[in-house]
Amino acid sequence: MTGRGAVKGRPRPWAETGRQGKTRYVWRFASQKYRTGFYDDPEEARADATAQITAQIEGKWRDRSGPRTLLEDWIDAWAKLLDDIEPTTVAYYRYLAEFHILAKFQGRELGCLTFEEIEAWERSIPKTINSQGRPYAVSVASSARSLLITILSDAVHAGKLDRNPAERRKGRRGRKRAKGRAPARTLKPAANVITPVQALCLAERCALLSCKDVDFVMNVFAAWTGVRWGELLAVEGWDGEESPLQLVEDGISTYAVDWQLREIGGVVAKSAPKDGSYRVLDLPPFLARLLRWAVDNRQPACHCPLSGGRPSCKGEDPTPAAYLFLGPSGGHLRRSNYADRYITPSAEGLYPARNGTRRPVYVTAEPWPGIPIRHGNRKHSAADLADGTWPNLTDKFKPHDDRHTHATWLDAANLNKVLQMDRRGHAMAGMDAIYNHVTPEMRQQLCDVLEHLWNGALTQRLALSPTSAVPLLNDLLQGRQNHDGTSAA
């Protein structure tokens, strides 16, 4: 409240035009700037300003501009308050705000948003078709609603609103069932955990689709190390003490996870691993041999623009560019594109939906599991040229499922918890973080377990077919066949 006599004379307000062509009035009183809300009619805005100035002079004025604040103006102010948040998270917030929240509520004042329309908006998102011709996932709708809840909760804390209209209903509505376990048909795992032989066959299919052996190595590396997607793309290696990849003849080979590659705003650059999860991964012998092949056959350089004579993607990493897992033209892989083109069709035997239809992966009969036929010719379609299609291998599978799969393998092998947490880059809780440590014996046990899982998967794959159209895997199968034959003899 401002007392009478705080200023000399009556303030003169001036008009401002907003983004939507609406008008508000601004004035100064007692060395502070005040504003009305935006109005469609300039005269209504002027009348509001006049009434507020009169109340200020009479000492009866109270701030009521908060609910009249436009949602986009508050989001702009709220975004400046974000601190210590991953750039990828900020980019995701920006996407949700621009393509979902403001797409629906831009131009609306905070105080006029209602619970009912926000509920209807959240339910409408999964029914909306995105740019790829598919409906948005339910998780996108939930994330957009959650972000709006956070934005408006901060508006309540800042005194802009008395309550948060976006908050979800608490408790059940409608019919209730007895407490307990949900029906089996409704239980869906958060991730798809696959077996070692499924992981091997998935890697083989990805290599068949891409026509590159390095894709086989990349997908095997992902499953047998549990690295995140950004960490996978940042894998580099060369011969030398400064290389993060140390391949040794005697002892345990290692890879140091010091970086991840992230794409923000179309720009690819290196940054620290998520939550600072720096770690050194021990590699079983078979994986060390595969990475030796990848180092010897890697592309000379990525195709990122140069900055100071070095690829711009290297960022603060001073070492030379020596990426092992690049696209066919030397570009860095994008998770969504790679999943759509290779992982999804390899896992499910079906490409993602286009115009509501999922096309099967047409293949030849030999060699097993069949070579994909991507296109037909002038006389015949791909379906006419094919001998069959790939069957479903793993159901829906996402790149991050490799991380869940690897963690499950380690737990099923009864490896020490501190070793599992260290490999994932997670911190132990409580006093265990102080007193539990990884020992050389634990490291060797880990490598033995992973080597055993690989040998078992290779033997199972050999039983399906002794050859493969992936040259690298074909050599491994022949070596396994010779080993098993020697052992049997």
pLDDT digits (tens, 9 = 90+) for 459-488: 999 999 999 999 999 999 999 988 776 554
Whether 276 contacts 345, CB under 8 Å:
no
Mean pLDDT of 190-215: 95
Phi, psi of 458 (to 5 degrees): -65, -40
For residue 280, the SS3 value is strand
| Position 365 pLDDT exceeds 60 | yes
What's at 472, amino acid-wise? L
Q: What is the pLDDT of residues 378-421, one digit of tens each?
A: 888 888 899 999 999 999 999 999 999 999 999 999 999 999 99
Q: Kindly tell me if the per-residue pLDDT of 2 is higher than 50.
A: no
Question: pTM here?
Answer: 0.74
Tell me the pLDDT band of 6, cut-offs 50, 70 and 90: very low
Average pLDDT for the chain: 89
pLDDT at 5: 41
Return the top range by mean pLDDT from 128-132, 208-212, 271-275.
Answer: 208-212
| pLDDT at site 329 | 86
More confident residue, 173 or 46: 46
pLDDT at 184: 53
pLDDT of amino acid 237: 95
User: Would you call 191 exposed, middle or buried from its count of C-beta atoms within 10 A (0-12, 13-18, 19+)?
Assistant: middle
Residue 10 has pLDDT above 80, yes or no: yes
In terms of Cβ atoms closer than 10 Å to its own Cβ (0-12, 13-18, 19+), residue 204 is buried
Chain segment 403-414, per-residue pLDDT in tens: 999 999 999 999
E strand residue ranges, 265-367: 267-271, 279-283, 306-307, 310-311, 362-363
Give the residue from 412, 374, 409, 413 showing the smallest Cα distance to 390. 374
The predicted-structure confidence for 343-361, as pLDDT tens digits, reads as follows: 999 999 999 988 888 999 9
450 neighbors 457 (Cβ within 8 angstroms): no
Helix (H, G, I), strand (E, B) or coil at 412: helix
Q: What percent of the chain has pLDDT over 70?
A: 92
274 close to 86: Cβ distance less than 8 angstroms: yes
Q: How large is the average pLDDT for residues 21-50?
A: 88
Examine the pLDDT at 69 and tell me if it is beyond 80: yes
Q: 102-111, 167-176, 366-375 — which is least confidently predicted?
A: 167-176
Q: Region 250-257: what's the mean pLDDT?
A: 95
Cα dihedral 376, 380, 382, 385 sign: negative
**In Å, what is the CA distance from 463 to each residue of 204, 398, 459?**
15, 27, 6
Q: DSSP string of 311-328?
A: EGGGTT--SPP-BSS--T
Instruction: Say whether pLDDT at 187 is over 90.
Output: no
Give the model's pLDDT for residue 466. Answer: 95
Question: What mean pLDDT comes out for the span 199-211?
Answer: 97
pLDDT reading at 4 higher than 50: no
Residue 80 has a pLDDT of 86
